[in-house]
A and B are shown apart, each in its own frame.
Chain A
Amino acid sequence: MSVGARRSDLDLRRVLALSRKESLQIIRDPSVILIAFVLPIVMLFLFAYAVSLDIKQVPIGLVMESDGAEAQSLAAAFAATRYFAVTPARDRREVVGDLLGGRLRGIVVIPQDFEQRLASHVPQPLAQVVTDGTQPNTASFVAAYARGVLTGWQASRRSPRVGTLSLEPRFWFNPEIESRRFLVPGAIAVVMTIIGTLLTALVVAREWERGTMEAIMSTPATVAEIIVGKLLPYFALGLSATFFATLVAVTVFGVPLRGSWLTLIALSSAFLFPALGQGLLISTVAKNQFIAAQVAVFSGFLPAFLLSGFLFEIDSMPAPIRAFTYVVPARYFVSSLQTVFLAGDVWALLLPNAAALVAIGLVLFALVRAKSHKTLDG
Chain B
Amino acid sequence: MTALAPSAITAHPLACLNCGKTHDAPRPAAVCESCLGPLDVVYPADRVLPDRETISARPHALWRYREWLPFVGEPVAATDIGWTPLREAPRVASALGVRRVWLKIDALSSGTLSFKDRVVATAINAVHAFGLDAIACASTGNLANAVAAAAAREGIPAWIFVPEDLEVAKLVGTLVYNPRLVRVRGTYDDVNRLCAQLADEYAWGIANVNLRAYYGEGSKTMAFEIAEQLGWRLPTAVVAPMAGGSLVTKLRKGFGEFLSAGLVQGSSPRVYGAQASGCAPIVRLVERGEGPLIPERPDTIARSLAIGNPADGLAAARILRESGGGAAHVSDDELRDGIRELAALTGVFGETAAGVTYAAAKALAARGALSPDDEVVLCITGNGLKTAESLVHDLKNVPIIAPRLREVAALVS
The answer to whether A binds B is no
